[in-house]
Amino acid sequence: MKKRKERIDRGIKARSSDIFALLSWREMLYLSAPRMLPIIGCLTLPLILGPYWQKVLLSVAVFALLAISWDILAQTGMVSLGQALFFGVGAYCAGVMNHYFGLSPFITLPVASVLGGLICTLLLLPVLRLRGIYFSMVTLIIPLMMVRVIEATKVFGGTEGLSGMTPLPSIWIELYLVIAVLLAALFGFRRMMDSDYGLILKGISDNDRSVINAGINIYQFKAQALFIAGSIGSFCGAFMTHVYMFVGMPVFALDYSILPIAAAVVGGPGTLAGAALGAFLLVPMSEALRGLGGLRIVLYGVFLVIFIIALPEGIFHYMQRKYQQFERWVEVEK
Partner 1 sequence: MIKTPILQVDNLNKSFGGVRAIRQVSFDLMPGELLGVIGPNGSGKTTLVNLITRFVKPTSGTVAFKGQKISHLPPYKIVRLGIARTFQMVKPFYHLPAYKNMIIPLYSPRMKQLAGGRYGDRDAIALDLLEEVGFERDSHVAYKPAGALPQGYLKRLELAKALALEPDLFILDELFSGLSLAEVASIVPIIEKIRLQGKTIIMIEHRLKELFRIADRIIVMNNGQKIADGLAEEVMENEAVKSAYLGAEAD
Residues forming contacts to partner 1 in the complex (CB under 8 A) are: 17, 196-197, 199-200, 202-203, 206-207, 209-218
User: Least distance in Å: CB of 17 to partner 1?
Assistant: 7
Instruction: Give the nearest distance from C-beta 172 to partner 1 in angstroms.
Output: 42
Helix axes 51-75, 218-244, angle to 10 degrees: 170
**CA-to-CA distance for 244 and 87, rounded, in angstroms?**
14
In whole angstroms, how close is the CB of 135 to partner 1 at the nearest point? Answer: 19
Q: For strand 20-21 and strand 14-15, is the pairing parallel, antiparallel, or unpaired?
A: antiparallel
**Least spacing, CB of residue 209 vs partner 1, in Å:** 7
Which CB, 165 or 218, lies closer to partner 1?
218
Q: Which residues contact 109 (CB under 8 A, 6 or more apart)?
A: 94, 177, 235, 238, 239, 242
Contacts of 6 (CB under 8 A, 6+ apart): 327, 328, 329, 330
Cβ proximity to partner 1: between 18 and 331 the closer is 18
Check if the beta carbon of residue 274 is closer than 8 Å to that of residue 290.
Answer: no
Q: Which is nearer to partner 1, 4 or 209 (CB)?
A: 209
- Nearer of residues 55 and 202 to partner 1, judged by Cβ: 202
Q: How far is CA 171 from CA 56, 212, 324, in A?
A: 12, 48, 38
* Shortest CB 129 distance to partner 1, Å: 11
Measured from the CB atom, the residue of 170 and 213 that comes closer to partner 1 is 213
| Complete DSSP assignment for 57-80 | HHHHHHHHHHHHHHHHHHHTT---
